[in-house]
Amino acid sequence: MAQAERTGGPVIRNGLVCNGPASITKGTPGTRPRQHVISSTPSTATISLVSPLSSSSTSSSHATPSSTSSQAHILTTISPSSTQPPVGPRTLSGPSVCTSTSSAASSSTAQCELLLNEKFLTRLFWYFYSGERRGLAQVCHVWCQVLYQPCFWEGITPVLHCSELYRCSPNNLTVPLDGNHSDKQFVSLNNFSRCGFDSFCLVGVSDLDICEFIDNYPLAKRGLRSLSLKRSTITDAGLEVLLEQMQDLVRLELSGCNDFTEAGLWSGLNGRLEALSLSDCINVADDAIAAITHLLPRLSELSLQAYHVTDAGLACFSSRPGLPALRLLQLHSCWEVTDRGAASLSRGLPVLRTLSLSGCSKLTDEGVEAVVSGMRNLRSLDLSWCPQLSDITLEALACELPGLQEIVLDRCVRITDTGLGYLSTMPSLRALYLRWCCQVQDFGLQHLYSMRNLRVLSLAGCPLLSTAGLSGLVQLRDLEELELTNCPGATPDLFPYLARYLPHCLIIE
C-alpha cells in the first residue's frame, strides 16, 4: 500500500479512496485516580479501587481486557479474623488494646502491599480464566499493568464488529444509519497491542475498515499472524491490500465474504501463507483451487466449503507444483465432487495426515478406495454425511490404513455390523464416531469390546442398540469419552452402571 499523504485530502490505497487514518484522542477520559479509604474500625481495611481503563476501548472479544465501556468500582474488603476487636458497650483501655490495634493496622497494611506486589499478582492471576482476567484488569492501575502482559493472552482471539471500530467525533454525536464513517473516529487499539494479540477476527468490515485497522493497530503490519474476516464485504482490491501490508500474516480465514472473486486470489495470494480457510464464499470454485495450488507452496492447512468445486478443481492437487507440505485438507459439502475427483487427491498430497470429505454426497466406495490407496500417512479421516458408503469402505480402511487413529462416520446410513467387524482389527484406532448410523446393532457393538486402545466413542442417535448391548462397553476400561445422546437404549439405569465401572470416562447423556 502506498504511504498515505497527510495533507488532509483523500488517500488512495491500491484503488481504494478513503479519508485517511482517524485521529485518535490520546489519554483515558473519564479515568479517576485510585482511592484508598481506611474505615474507623482498626481491624478492617476497605479498599475502593476505580477502573483505569478508557471507556472508548470497546470490543466483543472472547476475552479482551479493553472491552468494557463502563467504569468498574470493585470493593475489596480484607478482614483478618485473628485480630477482630471485641464488640460491646464496654470501653477497654490499656497497653493490650493499643497493641491489638497496632497489630491489626500492620496486618492490614501488609496485606494491601501484597495485593499490589507485581510478582505475587503475576502468579496469582494464572489461577483465573481469561474472561475473569478481563474484569480484574479494571480494578486498579497496578493490576491493569500486570494483566496487560502478553503471556496472559496467548491463544486468545479478539472479535471486533464493524460498529465497534468507530466512535462518534465530538462535533457529531449522531450515529449514521447508512454506515458512513466520515464523521466518526477509529477507536484506539493500543490496549490490544499492549496485550500482544497476534490474532484478530473482524466481522462485517469493508475495504475501508480494513485499511483503517492496518493503520491504527500497531502490530498489524509487523506482528499479526492470524486474521479472520466473517460476513464482510472485502473486494479483490481490499484483499490485495490486506495481504500486501500484513507482512507477518500466515493464517487467513474468509467466511461469508461474497464480494471478492477468484481473480482477487490470483492477484493477492502470496507464498508466506501456511493456513487458509474459505467457507460460504459464493465465488470460490475450481479456479480458486488452481490459484491456491500454484501460489501457496508452504501451505500446510486448507479448508474449503465450496458448493461449486468439481473434479476439475481437485485435479489441481495432483499437478505441479501442487501442495507438497499440506498436512490437513478439509473439503466440506463439495456436492459436485465424484470418485474421479477424489482419486486425484491420492497422487499429489504425500504427507497428508488429516482428510475430511464430509458432505461429499456423490462419493462411493470406489472413490474412497482410490483415496486411501495412496495415503499411507493418514491419521484422521472424516467421511460423515456420505450416504452411499457401505461396509466395503470400512474394509478398505482396515486393509490400507492400519495406522488410522480417528474415523468419523456420522450419517453413513449403510454401515452395518459387518463393517464394525473390520474396524475392530485396527489396533491404532483411538476415536470412532458413529452418530446416527441407523443399522448398527448389538452384535456389531460386540466387535468394539476388544478395542483396548479406543478412547473416544460416539453412538448418538443409533436406534437399534439395547441397554444390554451398551452395558458391555464397560469392558473398554480406558475409554475417556462416551456419547449416548438420543440413544433409546441408554436408559436412566444405565448411566450409573457405566459411571461405576468407567470412573474416568466422560459420559455424555
Exposure on the CB side of residue 275, measured as CA atoms within 13 A: 14
Q: Residue 410 is part of a domain; what is its CATH number?
A: 3.80.10.10
pLDDT in tens, 391-414: 999 999 999 999 999 999 999 999
Q: For residue 480, how many other CB atoms are within 10 A of its CB? A: 15
* pLDDT at 350 (0 to 100): 84
Q: 178 and 233: one domain?
A: yes
| CB of 478 closer than 8 Å to CB of 505 | no
* pLDDT at 130 (0 to 100): 86
In a domain, 177, yes or no: yes
Domain boundary residue among 209, 234, 260?
260
Quickly tell me which residue has 475450481 as its cell. 286
Q: 108 and 186: one domain?
A: no
Domain count within the chain: 3
* pLDDT at 6 (0 to 100): 38
* pLDDT at 263 (0 to 100): 96
In a domain, 202, yes or no: yes
Tell me which amino acid residue 87 is.
V
Report the alpha-carbon distance of residue 155 to residue 41 in Å, rounded.
45
* pLDDT at 31 (0 to 100): 38
Partners of 324 in the beta sheet?
none
Of the candidates 331, 401, 333, the one whose C-alpha atom is nearest the C-alpha of residue 369 is 401
Q: 233 and 169: one domain?
A: yes
End-to-end CA distance of the chain: 54
In a domain, 89, yes or no: no
| CB of 56 closer than 8 Å to CB of 22 | no
Please report the beta strands in 191-320, taking only residues with DSSP state E, as ranges in sequence order: 199-203, 226-230, 251-255, 275-279, 301-305
Q: 196 and 226: one domain?
A: yes
In a domain, 204, yes or no: yes
Q: 140 and 235: one domain?
A: no
* pLDDT at 184 (0 to 100): 80
* pLDDT at 103 (0 to 100): 73
Q: 168 and 134: one domain?
A: no
Q: Per residue of the chain (509 residues), give pLDDT as tens.
A: 434 333 444 444 444 444 444 333 333 333 333 333 333 333 333 322 233 333 333 333 444 333 333 333 332 333 333 334 434 444 444 444 455 666 767 778 888 888 889 999 999 999 999 889 989 999 999 999 999 999 999 999 999 999 899 987 666 555 554 555 556 889 999 989 999 999 999 999 999 999 999 999 999 999 999 999 999 999 999 999 999 999 999 999 999 999 999 999 999 999 999 999 999 999 999 999 999 999 999 999 999 998 999 999 999 998 877 899 999 999 999 999 999 999 999 888 989 999 999 999 999 999 999 999 889 899 999 999 999 999 999 999 999 999 999 999 999 999 999 999 999 999 999 999 999 999 999 999 999 999 999 999 999 999 999 999 999 999 999 999 999 999 999 999 999 999 999 999 999 99
In a domain, 34, yes or no: no
In a domain, 469, yes or no: yes
- Using only C-alpha atoms, what is the Rg of the chain? 30
In a domain, 335, yes or no: no
Partners of 166 in the beta sheet?
186
In a domain, 396, yes or no: yes
- C-alpha separations of 364 from 361, 402, 430 in Å: 8, 21, 25
Domain boundary residue among 204, 231, 260?
260
* pLDDT at 374 (0 to 100): 85
Q: 146 and 179: one domain?
A: no
| The model's pTM | 0.77
Report the alpha-carbon distance of residue 154 to residue 94 in Å, rounded.
57
Q: 128 and 182: one domain?
A: no
* pLDDT at 106 (0 to 100): 77
* pLDDT at 346 (0 to 100): 86
Q: 394 and 502: one domain?
A: yes
Helix and strand numbers, DSSP H then E, in the chain: 17, 21
**What residue numbers bound the domain in which 503 lies?**
390-509
Domain boundary residue among 260, 289, 305?
260
Of the candidates 248, 185, 254, the one whose C-alpha atom is nearest the C-alpha of residue 218 is 248
Q: 188 and 248: one domain?
A: yes
| CB of 448 closer than 8 Å to CB of 475 | no
Q: What are phi and psi of 78, to 5 degrees?
A: -110, 120
Q: Pairing mode, if any, of strands 226-230 and 251-255?
A: parallel
Exposure on the CB side of residue 474, measured as CA atoms within 13 A: 14
The DSSP code sequence of 339-380 is HHHHHHHHHH-TT--EEE-TT-TT--HHHHHHHHTT-TT--E
